[in-house]
Structure 1
Amino acid sequence: MTGAEFSEVDFDLLADYVGGALDGTPDEAVVAALIVGHPGWRRAHAELDAAAGAMTSALRSWGEEPEPMPAEFVARLDAAFAAEAAGGGEAGSGSAASGSSPRAGEFDVAASGAIHSAPGGDGAAPGRHLVAVPDGEERATTARKRVRRWKWAAPAGIAAGVLAFVGFGVQQLGGADSADDSSAAGSAQGAEHALALPAGPGQISSSGIDYNRGTLAQAAAQALSAPADTGQTGSAPRAPGQQPPAPRTGAADDSRNKGAEPTGGVMAERNEALDRLRVREALLACLDAIAGANGAGPVTAQTIDYARYEGAPALIVQFTAANGSWVWAAGAGCGTPASGADKLGSAKVG
């Protein structure tokens, strides 16, 4: 027999059914239907019914032969009966004459007067019924135990309350520490991102220059030597050999030629494909992606140019890292989960 055979059997309910506790209740019909319709219930009922019958027979056989009373108790009872008959109910003297005194935890039959007589129905000696009454010492012992339990219960309850309060305090302190740690971690991350960007607005430009593999490495030196982008025409860095762009007039053209550090909003529009990277958060994500692709730890951008690379919109980033100084051309998808760094080309410049 395995437990899997009876996995759907409610043994408590089945035991009540076998013992007769469900007789006359709605559950009786339910269990009877389960026994008839389910093999598992049927087998369990057969085994439980057989076990209950065997247990009942064993208990009945044990009760057929009564256990004899110990001789010590027989002698004490005989002495008590004799003392009552001789002294007119003065059971105390009979107990003293017997030379025995009840021990702690035993019932003092003689001293308690626990022998009650009832008239016999046929005129014979009255039948006697014994009533067990605890003596005084046992009652005192029980009372002392009860008091002792209460004495232990009070400190235990106080200790439980103290532990609960201390646990709450520790949790609050832990939460405060976690908040401080999170704040410190956020500050550190913000500082790291701040270091990743160029120091001033002059290091970020929107030249629109179309770089290629040959001019990418030379662009770094030209960008570093170029004056800060103040919005004047012709101030944007140019690739070697490329003619400067034609001068523009008017306030609208002048505003489109300005380069500014990305902020929480969007920078002046240069190339619609690169508009996303004019937002500070997107630019930082792009620099993080470049650092991951470079594989030499954090990078520090020195110049950033919103331009082109071999005709495609590109972010030209010169940066330093543990493996030297580099110029990377990153596509418009730089910093997105799908494109990563979106590397179009690179050149080592130091």
Structure 2
Amino acid sequence: MDLVRGAHHLTLSVGGAQEDYDFHARVLGLRSVKKTVLFDGELPVYHLYYGNGLGDASTLLTTFPYRQHGWKGRPGSNQAKTIKLTVPADSLNFWAERFDTLGIEYSDGRLFGTDRLFFRHPCGIEYALVGEREPDERAPWSGGGVPAEHAIRGAHGLTISAIDPREMVEFLTEGLGAKKLDSEGTTELFELGNTGHGKQIELVAEPDVMPATWRFGEGTVHHFAIDVNNPEDQQEVKDWLNGMGYTDVSERKDRRYFYSCYVRSPSGALFELAYSRPEGFLLDEVEDELGSSFQLPPHLENRRQELISQLEAIDTGAG
């Protein structure tokens, strides 16, 4: 399956909008590239996007802050559990010192030959900075207080927990064409596609962990979006998965800045196939102003004041 190209974005259900902004923009130094709303459902919920200067595919983290509605998720097995982000290997000491200064608790570790720093989003979701020695041509954002030489490059991948990984292995390898690279203890390492970034998926067996919730709710990873090139490639991957019997695949959805369809994996972890519009996030804001104002799709524009009045105010300051 040569049509998938690593990560497009990773999406989380988090707690408060302000603490989410502070964590991603002020602690991790990512750029806020878009502030809009979740297009699904009736409840007004932010959809916040963070990434590099243009919000390029594979640099994007997106979040739904659900605390104001009281929706809590239950982390657990059969769900993505760790967001992995790439930094230069020589930058891990910089990040450890930064976390010390900012009072961020962390631990270090090593897996599959890479050193890592583990820490948590304020809502509890685990993150890992993975130190990579291989060159990474993704342009980092240096306007968030982190020097370019140490800045996060984008997604490295994610870790998925499974009660029984066997069906998930088949989905990854035969459904998405992932290659198994290694195993260490109860964790197996897979790589998606021959191009792109953020393509390493670690699958960990956790047979004694209660399954996680599928619905939106604070403290859970909602989905992992895989990058494809165009609608034809997206449809071909979708047809391939349907032909294998993975029929829990959505119709194509217009997310304004990209187009998506979703597939539920055998473990329960949700995947997405996404391709970007040519304009990307410049569709409704110029580059210098990305993420600076609240954006809505045309069909919601007549509800602007109503929606704003029900959303938590976010103080972006100079961040």
TM-score (norm 1): 0.19
TM-score (norm 2): 0.20
Judging by fraction of residues, say which structure has more helix: 1
Judging by fraction of residues, say which structure has more strand: 2
Pick the structure with greater CA Rg: 1
**Which structure's relative contact order is higher, taking Cα pairs within 8 Å and 6+ residues apart?**
2
